[in-house]
């Protein structure tokens, strides 16, 4: 990709001045229009050191309204970030709808730096790039405009500029590590002075992540005027095109292929829930023995998980009144609260709705050695949001792929994921609802929403079946827990978690 770039391209000062003002006015106008249309935009800037990124980014943001964008210069990975999948740090930086995020280096630099520190092999770098493609594809599918610029200069140009920078005493790396001459533990922390070594890796990264939904623009940056004009012109054209797509009146569809009502699809695929034996029970004596046995094992396994720096995510989903709260209580009863947390998930607030639907769950992802239990989770997208029409059909259908990719990223870093669907029948739910209503200590648990959801039992059953079929993967399988009998449900969950940890930790 880079060998074909013509680095001799240049723009004279008078030509630059003639064009830049018009482009700046237009860019500012497009920023306001994107805000009105709630279009989120991500600009990624990568490039060689001394390629002029600082100057070109500054020229780019000067015409923008600072109230509408966030600027993020990349920092070195901190201890907390190192204990989680590396993309989670960048999930937190993604903008709400209508705002712009400008990244001065990004997930690409972090992936390349980790590779050159020998923290990851060629195979791991390839896996990392695959995860980046998933990440960018998800945001593009959710209406984000992603533009990526790589500022390219020749090796000689870099050498000349580095000499000038050194004469002026300007630090290349605004970080605590600059006092170590740009080195950490004797290793280069970025592209400085390693042009030939980095070139094939950069080429590989650009080629494998140049996608239609998030294309790379190679910026010929030997001439600063040319680089600035190309960046602003490209941004202007991309935003204009995206706005045109968003505001375009859709053509009336004339042919509907496979126009089958969604309620019929699970019948064609077979129902997972219909095969569950809800008559399973356990005696109180057996339950008491099992509870003590598994709680003691879980206490030991929790410390093994911590020592081996593995993380665990346990997802509880199920029918209302299926017993999630009681099951979670027994599961964690003997655990160390410093090493686990329970994250209850409710409806998204306004800020969360303005982000990608997975954004709000990133904060709860456990760091290495810790456990997070989600009391409901990202599966709300394909359950309640689907049934209650809180998202479009295209959004919840796309979410199956997005969730599988997201969980694949988590398991790829060693996380253990257990997904539990607590299943009860409709009569058992009704009995528990009435018991809650009649018990002053539990009446707060029953709400109008619970009764409304119950009236849509069949719709939810269809959604649950499809969820179980489409998101049960090799590394993150769904386990259906027979929960008509609460003791049986609690015993099975403790046993399932124990066996999963023993298998992963090989104890």
The residue segments making up the domain with residue 218 are: 2-245
pLDDT at 252: 36
> Are 430 and 340 contained in the same domain?
yes
Residues 241, 282 within the same domain = no
pLDDT score, position 237: 95
d(CA 148, CA 162): 24
β-pairing, 183-184 vs 187-188, is: antiparallel
Residue 77 and residue 171 share a domain: yes
The distance in angstroms from the start CA to the end CA of the chain is 49
Region 16-36 average pLDDT: 95
Which of 226, 245, 264 is the endpoint of a domain? Answer: 245
Count: domains in the chain:
2
- Same domain for 276 and 241: no
Q: What is the mean predicted confidence (pLDDT) over 258-286? A: 70
Domain end call among 203, 229, 245: 245
The total of other beta-carbon atoms located within 10 Å of residue 353's CB is 15
CATH number of the domain within which 500 lies: 3.40.50.300
Same domain assignment for residues 234 and 281: no
| Whether 115 and 54 share a structural domain | yes
Which pair of structure tokens corresponds to residue 504? 């992963």
- Residues 223 and 303 placed together within one structural domain of the fold: no
Q: Which residue has the tokens 């999948």?
A: 85
Please check whether residues 280 and 234 belong to one and the same domain: no
Residue-level pLDDT at 64:
96
* 238 and 276, same domain (yes or no): no
Report the percentage of the chain scoring pLDDT > 90: 74
Phi/psi for 79 (5° steps) reads -60, -45
How does strand 100-104 pair with strand 41-47? parallel
Query: Do residues 458 and 419 both lie within one domain?
Result: yes
Across the range 372-400, mean pLDDT stands at 95
pLDDT band at residue 177 under the 50/70/90 scheme: very low
Q: Which residue do the tokens 């279009």 mark?
A: 39
Whether residue 218 is found in the same domain as residue 304: no
Answer with the one of 245, 260, 289 that is the final residue of a domain.
245
CA distance 503 to 507: 7
In a domain? residue 251: no
Q: What is the pLDDT of residue 192?
A: 57
Flag whether 252 is in a domain.
no
Let me know if residue 387 belongs to a domain.
yes
Residue 265 lies in a domain: no
CB 108 within 8 Å of CB 205: yes
Query: Residue 262 falls within a domain, yes or no?
Result: no
Task: Give 207-229 pLDDT, tens digit per residue.
Answer: 999 999 999 999 999 999 999 99
Q: What pLDDT, on a 0 to 100 scale, did the predictor assign at position 437?
A: 85
List, in order, residues 6 or more apart from 419 with CB less than 8 Å away.
Answer: 315, 317, 471, 472, 476, 477, 478, 479
How far apart are alpha carbons 414 and 310 in whole angstroms?
Answer: 6
Confidence of residue 256 (pLDDT cuts 50, 70, 90): very low
Domain co-membership, 376 together with 493: yes
**In the predicted structure, residue 88 carries a pLDDT above the cut 60:** yes
Beta carbons of 314 and 370 less than 8 angstroms apart: no
- Does residue 496 sit within a domain? yes
Q: Is residue 346 part of a domain?
A: yes
Q: What integer pLDDT is reported at residue 257 of this predicted model?
A: 35
**pTM (two decimals):** 0.81
Asked if the structure places residue 378 within a domain, the reply is yes
């Amino acid at each position: 990709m880079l060998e074909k770039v013509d680095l001799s391209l240049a723009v004279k000062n008078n030509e630059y001045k003639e064009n830049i003002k018009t482009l700046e006015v237009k860019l500012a106008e497009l920023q306001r229009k994107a805000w009105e249309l709630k279009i989120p935009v991500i600009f990624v800037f990568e490039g060689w050191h001394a390629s002029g990124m600082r100057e070109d980014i500054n020229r780019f943001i000067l015409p923008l309204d600072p109230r509408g964008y966030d600027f993020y210069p990349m920092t070195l990975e901190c201890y907390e970030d190192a204990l989680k999948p590396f993309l989670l740090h960048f999930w937190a930086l993604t903008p709400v709808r209508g705002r712009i995020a400008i990244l001065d280096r990004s997930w690409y630099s972090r992936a390349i730096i980790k590779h050159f520190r020998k923290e990851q092999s060629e195979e791991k770098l390839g896996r990392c790039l695959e995860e980046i493609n998933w990440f960018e594809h998800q945001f593009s599918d959710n209406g984000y405009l992603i533009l990526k610029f790589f500022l390219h200069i020749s090796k000689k140009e870099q050498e000349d500029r580095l000499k000038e920078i050194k004469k002026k005493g300007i630090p290349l790396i605004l970080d605590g590590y600059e006092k170590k001459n740009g080195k950490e533990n004797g290793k280069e922390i970025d592209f400085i002075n390693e042009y030939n070594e980095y070139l094939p890796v950069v080429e590989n990264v650009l080629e494998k992540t140049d996608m239609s939904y998030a294309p790379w623009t190679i910026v010929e940056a030997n001439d600063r005027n040319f680089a600035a004009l190309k960046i602003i012109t490209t941004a202007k054209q991309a935003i204009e095109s995206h706005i045109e797509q968003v505001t375009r009146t859709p053509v009336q569809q004339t042919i509907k292929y496979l126009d089958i009502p969604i309620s019929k699809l699970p019948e064609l695929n077979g129902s997972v829930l219909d095969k569950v034996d809800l008559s399973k029970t356990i005696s109180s004596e057996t339950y008491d023995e099992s509870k003590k046995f598994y709680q003691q094992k879980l206490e030991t396994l929790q410390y093994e998980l911590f020592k081996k720096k593995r993380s665990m995510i346990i997802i509880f989903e199920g029918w209302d009144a299926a017993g999630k709260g009681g099951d979670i209580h027994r599961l964690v009863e003997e655990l160390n609260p410093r090493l686990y947390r329970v994250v209850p998930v409710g409806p998204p607030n306004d800020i969360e709705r303005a982000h990608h639907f997975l954004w709000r769950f990133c904060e709860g992802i456990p760091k290495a050695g810790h456990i997070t239990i989600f009391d409901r989770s990202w599966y709300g997208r394909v359950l309640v949001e689907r049934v209650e029409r809180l998202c479009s059909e295209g959004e919840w259908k796309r979410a199956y792929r997005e969730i599988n990719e997201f969980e694949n990223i988590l398991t790829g870093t060693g996380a253990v994921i257990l997904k539990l669907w607590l299943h009860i029948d409709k009569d058992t739910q009704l009995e528990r609802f009435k018991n809650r209503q009649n018990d002053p200590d539990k009446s707060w648990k029953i709400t109008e929403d619970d009764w409304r959801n119950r009236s849509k039992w069949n719709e939810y059953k269809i959604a649950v079946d499809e969820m179980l079929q489409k998101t049960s993967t090799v590394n993150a399988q769904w386990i259906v827990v027979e929960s008509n009998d609460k003791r049986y449900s609690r015993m099975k969950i403790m046993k399932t978690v124990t066996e999963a940890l023993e298998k992963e930790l090989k104890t």
